Amino acid sequence: MLSLDNSYSVEDLGDWARRCEKLAGGERFDYVAELKIDGLSLSLIYEDGLLVRAVTRGDGMRGEVVTGNARTIRSIPLRLSEQAVGGARGDGLAGEIEVRGEVFLPAEVFERINREREEQELPVFANPRNAASGTMRQLDPRIVADRQLDIFCYQLLFDGVPAFGKHSRSLEWMRECGFKVNPHYRECQDIAAVIGYCREWGERRDDLNYEIDGVVVKVNQVGVQEDLGSTAKSPRWAIAYKFPARQVSTRLLDVIYQVGRTGAVTPVAVLEPVLLGGTTVSRASLHNDDEMKRLGVLRGDHVFIEKSGEIIPQVLKVIAERRTGEEEPFAFPHDCPVCGTSLVRPEGEAVARCPNRGCPARLREGLLHFAGRRAMRIDGLGEALVDQLIAVRENGLPLVGDYADLYRLRERREDLIRLERMGPKSVDNLLAQIDASREAGLARLIFALGIRHVGERTAAILAAHFEEIGRLAVAGVEELAAIHEIGEVVAASVRDWFADEENCLLIERLGAAGVSMRLASGTESRSRNFEGQQFVLTGTLPGLKRDEAKAFIESRGGRVNSGVSKNTNYLVAGEDSGSKLSRARELGIEGGERGINCLRQFALGSAAGIGSHELPEQVVVVS
């Protein structure tokens, strides 16, 4: 797989077009302009219509084989229809078809992954490209399936050569055959039209829900492509027009230290406001003391900052040449900037923490997390209100000193009404939301508690497994770590949290306030995502009794039938499955891993609360 030459200006593009015209020797041609997706390229090989191999670009000659992971990408067809392929090549599915494309992560998925990683205190991915490429190398295809990668296909080869006389026809063919092709490509009669396309997308790139870093321009006629040929590195018939990077330089005015709900102290750069990717940026993350030292930032420095995806801007590097000698060093604080307690930084950890659980900053962030949309969902509890609730009053006490106090606010209605920007109506709304949050359910409650390393998904897995908080509270590390997808770090963190007497007291107080501590019977965290689907079970399902499998499916709204018919959506075929499997195949119910992934996908559940641990891996599902 070759790479592309880059151009950074419309003048460069004009020069390239003139070279093409010269080398084409008078032959007429046009161009196809496509968005340059910022992901990683993948080659998909189909033999006799079946996906047999997926390989990353690697160094161009050799890449990594990632077939299992590629199969989890829903937009990659696992099997091509004979009709579609036969129509194009005349000899049916015989021979090798190669489709190349760019794997990417949709912006909202990238944000979700980073949010989860932040919650689990794992390093966040700097941009969607890194996240996509890290994901493709994952060893566990279930994690890949959960991350919802996507692909846009942009090149087609039959037995190693372009199949059609025009590139635009290849794009159409791929789309007809079920490949995902970016819909924004445009056939352009001349380079002026190409330049118009580049300008247009340079302005519209923020409208897309995936990252693009430029435009790829290709000569449309394959005959002319052949005339132009390639250098050792790149084809002469294509070029990348790169958008200006979303990096700017600005001045670092100061660093402030924010205390999070776990006590983690994060240095944040205060910047001279600067326009970047459509928004004014005045803050950037510096992560921790080690990162500040690595960058070597001084107060007053000029720095480069970058924004990729939707994440908080990052300080990339210091522009040392612009130093005047007036810059001053920063000193990471020894004490909590909010409550003054000495910070603790355990050996081998990058993060310094305030250990004072009564620290107002921790309580503030903790309450905001507890009330958050993905936790107990108390919408009326925003920053301004939380600040007032935790402020110490004349009697020396705040209105709210821990999460359980929220549930006693009804007794303090008069005090609430007197708060700034509150009135009887907004207070009653708030109290109603607090009341309703008692039934938020176990998964949300576990997430809301803010246990280190326990994100939304882990909370859902724990809730589904233990079904009530009392059982989770007494679970040992080994029992926790034995749960599929729960690692030792999470297990130890959960154990430590419940080993703390104050936390147990908090749980008691929440319970006494009427907060539900059990998995709600019915559908909480067990979404009915099999609704309307018909299943047939056959063979032995390792690790799962027939009744359990049936209950699992039915609890999600699916139906289990005894015989395979054309209405069957899924055949869950275990070991030694006999006639039902052949009957399903006869009926043309598509087979193979797609089915497994479908069911895993359901089980992994974008819908809250479904852990893949609920299905043994060995179960073969034919859909």
* Segment lying near ligand IVH (by CB under 6 A), choices 233-241, 263-271, 346-354, 499-507: 233-241
Q: Which of residues 30, 36, 124, 287 is near ligand IVH by CB under 6 A?
A: 36
> Looking at beta carbons only, is 182 or 458 nearer to ligand IVH?
182
Residues 6+ apart with CB under 8 A from 98: 43, 44, 45, 46, 155, 156, 157, 158, 160
> Looking at beta carbons only, is 216 or 462 nearer to ligand IVH?
216
Q: Which of residues 202, 223, 235, 380 is near ligand IVH by CB under 6 A?
A: 235
User: Is residue 36 among the annotated active site residues?
Assistant: yes
* Segment lying near ligand IVH (by CB under 6 A), choices 33-41, 331-339, 421-429, 519-527: 33-41
Rounded least distance, CB 101 to ligand IVH, Å: 8
Q: Report in angstroms the alpha-carbon separations of 324 from 247, 300, 321, 613.
A: 23, 9, 9, 59
Nearest of 168, 102, 161, 162 to residue 133 by alpha carbon: 102
- Residue 102 within binding range of ligand IVH, rule CB under 6 A: yes
* Segment lying near ligand IVH (by CB under 6 A), choices 15-23, 32-40, 253-261, 351-359: 32-40
Contact 16, 8 (CB under 8 A): no
Q: Which of the 8 DSSP states describes residue 203?
A: H
Sequence length of the chain is: 623
Contact 57, 63 (CB under 8 A): yes
Nearest of 401, 595, 374, 394 to residue 505 by alpha carbon: 401
Rounded least distance, CB 40 to ligand IVH, Å: 7
Q: Which of the 8 DSSP states describes residue 607?
A: S
- Report the DSSP pairing between strands 31-37 and 247-259: unpaired
> Looking at beta carbons only, is 226 or 468 nearer to ligand IVH?
226
- Cα first-last separation, the chain: 34
What angle in degrees, to the nearest 10, is found between the helix axes of 383-390 and 360-371?
Answer: 130
- Report the DSSP pairing between strands 620-622 and 570-573: antiparallel
- Window 136 to 155, contacts with ligand IVH (CB under 6 A): 154-155
Rounded least distance, CB 597 to ligand IVH, Å: 24
Rounded least distance, CB 178 to ligand IVH, Å: 18
d(CA 432, CA 414): 15
Rounded least distance, CB 190 to ligand IVH, Å: 20
Amino acid letter for position 46? Y
For CA atoms 111, 112, 117, 120, the dihedral sign is positive
- Residue 4 within binding range of ligand IVH, rule CB under 6 A: yes
> Looking at beta carbons only, is 211 or 524 nearer to ligand IVH?
211
| Interface size with ligand IVH, residues (CB under 6 A) | 15
Q: Which of residues 17, 32, 33, 37 is near ligand IVH by CB under 6 A?
A: 37
Site string for ligand IVH, 445-484 (x = CB under 6 A): ----------------------------------------
Torsion angle defined by CA atoms of residues 223, 228, 232 and 233, in that order, rounded to the nearest 10 degrees = -90
- Residue 34 within binding range of ligand IVH, rule CB under 6 A: yes
Binding site for ligand IVH (CB under 6 A): 2-4, 34, 36-37, 41, 57, 102, 154-155, 216, 235, 238, 240
Task: Give me the active site residues, please.
Answer: 36
